[in-house]
Every structure is written in structure tokens, then in C-alpha cells.
Amino acid sequence: MAETREHWGSHIGFILAAAGSAIGLGNIWKFPYVAGKNGGAAFILIYLISVFFIGISLVIAEILIGRKSQLNPVGAYRKLLKGHRGWTLVGYLGVFTGFIILSYYNVVAGWSVGYFIEGVRGSVLSFTSSEEAADFFNHQIMNPAWIIGYQAIFSILVLAVVYFGVAGGIERISRILMPVFLGILLILVGWGISLEGSREGLSFLLKPNWESVNGRTVLEALGQAFFSLSLGMGALLTYGSYLNKDDSILSSSIMIAFLDTLIALLAGVAIFTSVFAMGFSPDTGPGLVFCVLPAVFSKMPGGYAFGLLFFLLLTIAALTSAISLLEVITSYFVDEKKWTRHRVVLGAGLIVFLVGIPSALSFGPMRHVTVFKRTFFDFLDFLSSNILLPLGGLLMALFVGWYVKKTSILEEFRKGAGGWVDTHVLHPVKQIRHKTAFLTIGNVWFFVVKYLAPVVILLVFLYSIGILS
Ligand code: PFF
């Protein structure tokens, strides 16, 4: 029920929670290895273009649908377009995607918890060579008890936060963890840059190699932008539904996308400076931060402490994102089925954990089981990042651009004003200028959502399946 719906305690609380959702394994674990695999700077440039020209506009659109409807993804589509029930399928697609992502997200987050806990106990993070670190990693991820055990511990952490609700759980934990996260990351960046030989890492991030770019790279960059911004499945929509009417959607969205991108780039600097300084290869794949970094840390004076800090950082990042994935599922059952939050959290948490087990095992006992030539884990990751999220984003853009009344969308867009300045204190002439500028921004944004975003996403889809190539 809209009138009893919980809301964020403060605007900054919302920004930190939404940025916490966006900043996650996608930034620190995935971005470096996908960029490393796709040639570095050229991929990063395409990624930045995707975020700037498409991502930000869709972040605005998604938060806007949430705030306007004050509901979960399924309810939101139903409410905003009464009569066209087909659109609720987009909401269901979002809840389903959240389910899938969370199932394998818990697995990688579990590795991180495992490295941290065992690091504290003194049994990992000390290696004499990268081979030894890689052997350790491969040995651990093949061990069902280790991998499922830590997956379970991480899942319980996620449940515990969401159990306490929006302001009392998610907002409170984000307010504490996000500053800690930033502090640790900055220490690691400073450390990486100070290493001898770090320049090579920086030039890998800055000098594009266009030969390695093809349609596939563009799809991966776009998919990575969606994944990293938590876009296209209703996480931002759900968080937006708890946003107060007098907070600006425009400035919040820009802030969230800016923080997310900044953190991905900083993580890239911290990781590639270390990787190159120690003479390792950037295209190691998903094990990059788990195989290479511990070996790097082992070679450095004081490296053990930095290693621990790094895995703590990764765990925090994963936690603030995983809670947003579980919140999407929770809000759906609470709004639509009228279940209590506590019941949904426990039930959904358990089911997601069970669904994640084949992904956890796909590095060990199930590594030969393939779906479309990929292991279970890789298949779910590819399906969700590169297909389901962009598809969800495409349908959402079509919904906002073509099916809901433009005036009602722009009216919601304007609520909370620009958020840049307090318009009331401005001179009347300046107020008019400010208003005009804001109207123009609204129209440009609407144009991007209505035409540019759908066309680009469609072209990238078609190109990557070879129709246009
Ligand atoms: N944005 C998160 C990350 O970069 O790790 C992952 C994610 C969270 C994707 C929430 C989608 C989502 F709805």
C-alpha cells in the first residue's frame, strides 16, 4: 500500500544505497578482467560512451518509474499503464533476472569472504609465485564444501541486512560501509601507483588498441555498463520507489553513475598497476583478482595487510549490491502477494542459495556440464549481463518513451527541481533561466530514452548476433 510504504531516511542515504547497489563485484572483479580480456583502453572507452550516452538516461528513467509508481517492478508497470497487461511481463523479467544474478553473485562473493576469513586466520594470501596462487585458487573453487560453505555465509549476511528493511537495514549499512569502502580503495590505488613499473599498467588503461575491438566487444561493454549500473532489472526502480518526492532524480542519477564509473576506473588503476608491476598478464579471466592479486601482495612488504584490505573491500562491495538484488525480489512479494518481509527474505534467500549451487559447482564437479557451450556459471552471467539486462533496459526505454504520457513523465522528472541550486533563493530572471535550462535537459533526456537508447541497444544486439556484420 502506497501510503504505508517505507522511504529512505535521507537523500544521501538513497544515493549511498543506490551507489552501493551499482558499485559491486562488477566494478572490482568483473570490470578489470573483462577490460583485460578485451584489450584495455579501447574497451574502457566504449564502456564510458555507453554509460554517458545511454546508461545515465536509463538510470533516470528507471528511478523515475519507481518513484512515480511507488511499487515493485511488476506493480509499477501494471500501475503506470493500466489495461496493457503485457507490460507487467517486463516487471516479471526484472524479478527473474534479479533471481538469476543473485544466485551466481553469491558464489563469487563467497570466494571473497573465503579469502578474507582465511586470510585473517593466516592460511592464505602468502605465495611464492603466481602459479602457486593460481593452484590454490583452482584447488579451492573445485572444493564443493569450501565454495558452498562460503556462499552460504555470504547469503546469510545478505538476508540479515534485507531482513531489517529499507531505512533500518539497507540504508544504515550503506551509510557505514560505503565510506569505509572508498577509504580502502584509495589506499590501494595509492599503493598500486607507488609500485615500480606501475606505468605499464596505467598505459594499458589509457592507450587504446583498436585491433581487438569488434561487435562482440561492443556488446560486452554495453552489457558491462548495464551490469555495473544495476540497470535493466528493476533494482534502481525498487530503490526509486522508496525515494521522497522532493529529491531530484536527475542529480541523484548523475551522482550514482559518476560514483560507479569512478570506482570502476579506480579499481582498474589499483589492479592493473599491481598486475603489470609484478609482470603478470592482464587477460587471466575471472580468476584475475583471486589468482594474480594474492601473488602480487605476497611479493610486497606489508602486502599481507593490503591483501586482507582488498578482500574486505570486495566483500563490502558485493554485499551492498547483493542486498539490492534481494530487495527487488522482496518488494515484489511484499507488494503483490502481501507476504511479510521477514517471510519473503528467508524463503527467497534459501531458494536463491539453492539455485546458486550448480553455479558454485561449475568450477569443480560440474565443470564439464555446459549450456550453449558455456559452464553453468558462465552461461548465467552471459545471459543476464549481455541479454536480459539490455533487453530489460530496451523495453523500459520503449515503455517510458512511447507508452506513458510524456507530460506525466516530465512532470515526475521535474519534481524535486534540478537539485543543483535552490531555485527559491534565485533572482526571478535567473529562476526563469534555470527553469528553461531544466526543461531543455528534460527534453534531451526524453529524446535519448525514446529514440537513441532503443536504436543503439537494438543495433548492438543485431550486430553481435551477426545480422549486420
Ligand atoms: N551493479 C552490481 C555490480 O556492479 O556488481 C551488480 C548488480 C546489482 C547488477 C544489482 C544488477 C542489479 F540489479
**DSSP output for 174-238:** HHHHHHHHHHHHHHHHHHHHHSTTHHHHHHHHHS--GGG--HHHHHHHHHHHHHHTT-SSSHHHH
Sequence-separated (6 or more) residues with CB below 8 Å from residue 440: none
Q: How far, in Å, from the CA of 94 to the mean position of ligand 1?
A: 12
Residue nearest to atom 9 of ligand 1 (CA): 230
Pocket test for ligand 1, best of 21, 262, 330 (most atoms within 8 A of CB): 21
Query: What pLDDT was estimated at residue 419?
Result: 47
Alpha-carbon span 458 to 441, nearest angstrom: 24
CA–centroid distance for 76 within its chain: 21
CA atoms within a 13 Å half-sphere pointing along the CA-CB vector of 273: 18
Please give the number of the atom of ligand 1 that sits closest to the Cα of 318: 5
Name the DSSP letter for residue 72. Answer: -
**Predicted ipTM?**
0.98
Q: How far, in Å, from the CA of 228 to the mean position of ligand 1?
A: 5
Query: What pLDDT was estimated at residue 420?
Result: 46
Number of independent structural domains in the chain: 1
Would 363 be classed as within a structural domain? yes
Please give the number of the atom of ligand 1 that sits closest to the Cα of 328: 13
CATH number, position 411: 1.20.1740.10
Residue 163, SS3 per DSSP: helix
Identify which of 109, 79, 107 has the alpha carbon closest to the alpha carbon of residue 91. 79
Identify which of 18, 314, 15, 291 has the alpha carbon closest to the alpha carbon of residue 154. 314
Alpha-carbon span 37 to 284, nearest angstrom: 7
Please give the number of the atom of ligand 1 that sits closest to the Cα of 229: 1
Please give the number of the atom of ligand 1 that sits closest to the Cα of 31: 4
Name the DSSP letter for residue 447. Answer: H
Query: What pLDDT was estimated at residue 2?
Result: 43
Q: How far, in Å, from the CA of 289 to the mean position of ligand 1?
A: 18
Q: How far, in Å, from the CA of 245 to the mean position of ligand 1?
A: 25
Would 469 be classed as within a structural domain? no
Please give the number of the atom of ligand 1 that sits closest to the Cα of 23: 4
Would 421 be classed as within a structural domain? yes
Gyration radius from the chain CA atoms: 22
* The three grid cell numbers given for residue 310, joined into one nine-digit string: 582488498
Would 439 be classed as within a structural domain? yes
Name the DSSP letter for residue 38. Answer: T
Q: How far, in Å, from the CA of 26 to the mean position of ligand 1?
A: 7
Write the single-letter amino acid at 197: G
Write the single-letter amino acid at 124: V
Q: pTM of the prediction? A: 0.91
Query: What pLDDT was estimated at residue 423?
Result: 52
Alpha-carbon span 388 to 381, nearest angstrom: 10
Strand-pair partners of 374: 371
Please give the number of the atom of ligand 1 that sits closest to the Cα of 321: 8
Would 210 be classed as within a structural domain? yes
Structural domain of residue 139, as residue ranges? 2-464
Query: What pLDDT was estimated at residue 133?
Result: 84
How would you write 107-162 as a 3-class SS string? HHHHHHHHHHHHHHCCCCCCCCCHHHHHHHHHHHHCCHHHHHHHHHHHHHHHHHHH
pLDDT tens for the chain, residues 1 to 469: 444 688 999 999 999 999 999 999 999 989 988 888 888 899 999 999 999 999 999 999 999 999 999 999 999 999 998 777 889 999 999 999 999 999 999 999 999 999 999 889 876 677 877 788 888 888 999 999 999 999 999 999 999 998 988 888 888 888 888 888 888 889 889 988 888 888 888 888 888 888 878 888 888 899 899 999 999 999 999 999 999 988 999 999 999 999 999 999 999 998 888 888 877 788 877 778 888 788 878 877 778 888 888 899 899 999 999 999 999 999 999 999 999 999 999 999 999 999 999 999 999 888 899 999 899 999 999 999 889 999 999 999 999 999 999 999 999 998 876 544 455 566 777 777 777 877 889 999 999 999 999 999 998 888 776 655 5
Q: How far, in Å, from the CA of 224 to the mean position of ligand 1?
A: 10
Alpha-carbon span 281 to 55, nearest angstrom: 30
Name the DSSP letter for residue 85. Answer: G
Which protein residues touch ligand 1 with a CB less than 6 Å away?
21-22, 24-27, 98, 101, 227-228, 230, 233, 235, 321, 324-325
